[in-house]
Chain A
């Protein structure tokens, strides 16, 4: 499930955003954003000079007044962008805050059931509390005794209850969630104010937002460009004096503000906040913006086979009879043997028989059949009906049973090898079919009826539909996928080939995982993985992007740098996409912002110097009406383009999983070339409007 995306400009958000935008004009806040801070400084300066001129009654006040007004609009629009992005997070934070309402905790005082009631905020780490059906869990903790169903809707938005129990990989509970049934004892792991929900609130509100490494680098670039344009503009007065004239300060300020990268400067923090917000709406919490960026850079994805690549259980996919037996007969026998078999494998045989041969499930009682359950000893199951015995099971076990050999041990294939005489032609055939299936990554299940081998049922891990395409997509994006599985290498290889992953780690232990991550990182790659168990914690911590499942243990959650509230390991792929989208949006708007300068120069330079050298009218390629309208149009465009790009900044540029070369070509065309052309059109259009309205 994903949280509903609040529409971009809904009234409930815009109102507070406007207010917040005004508050953000405080220089102490603005200084976090160097480009906009510079704009504020020059806006203040020109405003003071304007007021002085107003008092003395200097000419041209209408024009400079408008320029100054638009300078302040530029600032406000930048703040509105940021406030809007934050506002969307605030709405989510408010709903989370409701989950954090003051709870009373039953702190256990001894080993028995004696407890004292204390406010949740007074709990300290290490306290053990009793939580009974209907109680809210007072703070984050780990279940140390008991099992309970818990409603975690407050944090996940998912109303179906989840099971929390001690000992296993589902022992973590979150403060503010509610126990629906049974009771558990919880050892508190975080004190009030630093719980999961607290952190979530801080994250979605942007309060805990720190600039990410990439954002810092981009800010340096933008500050550098700003300084370059300080040089370009500050040298103009003396050049003008040489040419025998002077340029009004307000015109210089207009040129300066339009040249410095205000577009990206205004939208930069909104882009970052919106990126985090997209993850949150996707029910993934990133503990830092750094993690989101790292997600975009991931080179290797470690994916657990079960649940991510394959459906949970193995299923029957084919009936392979020996010679002289029809598929129909084999299916019939296999179905009968599985009717009472409630394991997923057994049920899948019944389903396959029905789908493939139209064999309807029959009623066991009507057939007068007795179910022979699976035992570790026999390693077979089946039915006895009307004197007929049908068995299905491990290939060697079934062979042993039909050749009348006693089962020597679990390693009975070795025992059989001592009796080559027992190897009839049929047995040989069964063996070769079984081997073929195993090589293809399946599990063979032999079927025998009344001492006669009929054939083999092929059970297979079912690779999720569409996953192959997803991996192909990832490959095009340059991301290598590695499947992690406990299967033996042969089976793993077959599934890996079928799913289209690039590599696999078979019979994987947590240590193997950790070693694999270290190996990849030593090659300079960034690794993402997801995990839930305590034994995943080291690997989660080592990975550059570690997504912990919300159902997992406290250790896993602490180790990862993201938490998936839905506990869906497939999401790793989307997380990578969101990370990439964040970086792309930044790059696209930076490119657009810088490319805009070409048109702005052509608008302002001829206008500015026309008094000195009328010949420069030739540079007025847009045919703007007058010097004043040209300058005014450029500064208006510069302010309005921020507003026009807010939706893009919040939504992110559209992202397709194609190679870097194709992405670059497309984005360079749209944001590079577009960035050069759009302002020519925009400034011209605004100039027409400005002239029509007699503003200049």
Chain B
């Protein structure tokens, strides 16, 4: 580790923190229905959209109505995306003449983008037409991100409202989020990326003659516009197979820095929206602090481990950090930081190959996802995932002050605990359950490229990434098979909707409750004590579940590596 490295990390944190308040303030105005600086331009568009869709913007929905609207909307989005993928050879904007996507891969890809996972069992430039990328994927990138934010808002309203039957309107939240937040930011962001050298064209792939005289086809396309939303919306699905490691997706150190910041920007700012909407910004900062502690711990381990390099190679006298699978233009610190950020948030874009990380360096991304991506997390999803943990933490430890646990004046009772546990249960079920299946079935064992614990890690990482809706991959796994396409898609759908629905149910039941005014007998939830308690519960309740699996994967790999032992390929 170097001072320079830590300065980069500190700079990153400073920029994210500086964005929290202004973005939080702006989004609060947007989602409260207040006028914003963009209202003169976008107001008529917004009203026009409601009129066209026949929506009464003042009509709010109960949690169930909100959830059904969301599910119906996603079912339709899923079908449209599936249809585009299957029919892309019949549709326009296919200069490279890509064939129709196979049914299982189309199913996997549709599930992946609808759930904000962006797991990619395909290489974008070799599989998809421009139309599929733009109309199919980019469109879902916007909507799945907006959906995450909308659901976080519904849950926030659960806390901020009292004796209410509604939690907002899904249509309005979705529209306002897309129109006022995502689109304007992405337009500016896209222009910045183009300035950095990211292509944005509908023209065909370019043929070039290399120095050796060989002909090479260089893939281009509407890249910048997709990269902007894939980062900002924590989607992570790259235009190219190499994702943000590809020089056309992430050409410079500056574009890399901005991309990492943009992964966290909206998620971190949503904690501020939360604080503002519940009437106490400190509550938002406390949540962000808990996220920050877990994040910095992760960065320290991954950066430290990558900087120390491979113990096996060090044993041969090859001192220095681990640069395998990393882009030299980013170096160790920017790659390690990117890996931790992209898995802490549910982005899943990668600028280095996690498969090539050291055992401990790759352990942290896995833990980040196994905790449910609540360290800033996916836009919206991180906040509601974190609030689910807050409910559990408050319930476990809050009793110790001698009152029925309450958070922000809302009593946490059987129904909230039940829903929170449901949301927490589905992740280990998907991650461990499918890994257990894949490690004994021939179809599953065909996937990993490596033997021994590392191969195990590749499988575990895949299902972890899917269920957590991350989308990053431990490269070594060959996922485009019937088995992995379907199981991963299933994991993604369950990991998304079986967290969302309980979270919405919590929103509904909280909104209906009265708000108890705080007193000296109320557990304070904005101080260091609460933050520490929350971190402890997250690690013990959320993390310990995965201890056996991690012990058999990265931990044993690390210990073996430290002893100079490797595992032969071939098993």
Q: Which residues of A contact B (CB under 8 A)?
A: 213-214, 216-218, 220-221, 223-225, 227-229, 231-243, 255, 259, 293, 296-297, 299, 475-480, 522-525, 579-581, 583-584, 586-588, 590-591, 594-595, 597-598, 601, 605-606, 608-609, 612-613, 615-616, 618-619, 655, 659-661, 663-665, 667-668, 671-672
Contacts and interface: CB of A to CB of B under 8 A. Distances in A.
A659 B519 CA distance: 9
B273 to A, nearest CB: 24
B556 to A, nearest CB: 4
A239 B552 contact: yes
Interface in B393-436: 395-404, 409, 412-414, 416-418, 421-422, 424-425, 428-429, 432-433, 435-436
B73 interface: no
B392 interface: yes
A426 to B, nearest CB: 50
A241 B533 contact: no
A257 to B, nearest CB: 15
A672 B424 contact: no
A660 B456 contact: no
A672 B439 contact: no
Contacts of A237: 436
Given A213-B414, A296-B402, A243 B517 contact: no
Given A228-B545, A241-B439, A216 B400 contact: no
Contact of A597 (B397, B517, B540): B540
B403 A235 contact: no
A239 B439 contact: yes
A220 B417 contact: yes
Q: Is the interface of B mostly helix, strand, loop or mixed?
A: helix
Interface stretch (B101-109, B278-286, B557-565): B557-565
B520 interface: yes
Interface stretch (B1-9, B196-204, B522-530): B522-530
The 10 A-B pairs of least Cβ separation, nearest first, read: A478-B521, A587-B399, A580-B402, A224-B421, A478-B519, A587-B400, A615-B559, A478-B520, A242-B439, A235-B436
A220 B517 contact: no
B520 A476 contact: yes
B502 to A, nearest CB: 11
B552 A661 contact: no
A455 to B, nearest CB: 44
A579 B404 CA distance: 10
Given A228-B424, A660-B524, A296 B429 contact: no
Contacts of A668: 397, 400, 529, 532-533
Contacts of B541: 225, 228, 594
A214 B424 contact: no
Given A525-B517, A587-B400, A613 B552 contact: yes
B402 A663 contact: yes
A237 B437 CA distance: 10
Nearest to B546: A232
B440 A221 contact: no
Count chain B CB atoms within 10 A of each CB in A479, A583, A612, A664 and give the residue with the most: A664
Which of A239, A590, A601, A663 is packed against the most chain B CB atoms within 10 Å?
A239
A665 B529 contact: yes
Nearest to B533: A668
A679 to B, nearest CB: 13
Q: How large is the interface on B (under 10, 10 to 19, 20 to 34, 35 or more residues)?
A: 35 or more
Contacts of B425: 224, 227-228, 231
B97 interface: no
B392 A221 contact: yes
Contacts of A661: 523-524, 527, 529
A588 B400 contact: yes
A605 B396 contact: no
Interface of A is mostly: helix
B551 A238 contact: no
A224 B399 contact: no
B519 A299 contact: yes
Nearest to B550: A605
B460 to A, nearest CB: 9
Contacts of A475: 520
B548 interface: yes
Contacts of B529: 661, 664-665, 668
A690 to B, nearest CB: 23
A587 B403 CA distance: 10
A480 to B, nearest CB: 7
A168 B421 CA distance: 53
Contacts of B548: 232-233, 235-236, 239, 255, 605, 608-609
B536 interface: yes
A605 B524 contact: no
Contacts of B429: 231
Nearest to A521: B514
B162 interface: yes
B413 A213 contact: yes
24 contacts: A217-B395, A220-B414, A221-B396, A228-B428, A228-B541, A231-B428, A233-B548, A235-B433, A235-B435, A235-B548, A238-B435, A238-B436, A239-B549, A241-B440, A255-B548, A476-B520, A525-B517, A587-B397, A615-B560, A615-B563, A659-B520, A660-B520, A665-B529, A671-B400
Given A232-B548, A476-B520, 20 more contacts: A217-B417, A221-B395, A224-B417, A225-B541, A238-B435, A242-B445, A242-B552, A296-B402, A480-B519, A524-B515, A583-B402, A587-B399, A594-B537, A594-B541, A598-B544, A609-B556, A613-B556, A618-B559, A667-B397, A667-B401
Contacts of B540: 594-595, 597-598
Nearest to B565: A615
Contact of B456 (A229, A231, A242, A615): A242
B516 interface: yes
A667 B400 contact: yes
Interface string B91-128: 00000000000000000000000000000000000000
A590 B417 CA distance: 14
Interface string B205-237: 000000000000000000000000000000000
Contact of B556 (A240, A591, A616): A616
B380 interface: no
B547 interface: yes
B437 to A, nearest CB: 7
A231 B435 CA distance: 11
A616 B416 CA distance: 39
Contacts of B555: 616, 619
Contact of A655 (B399, B402, B424, B440): B402
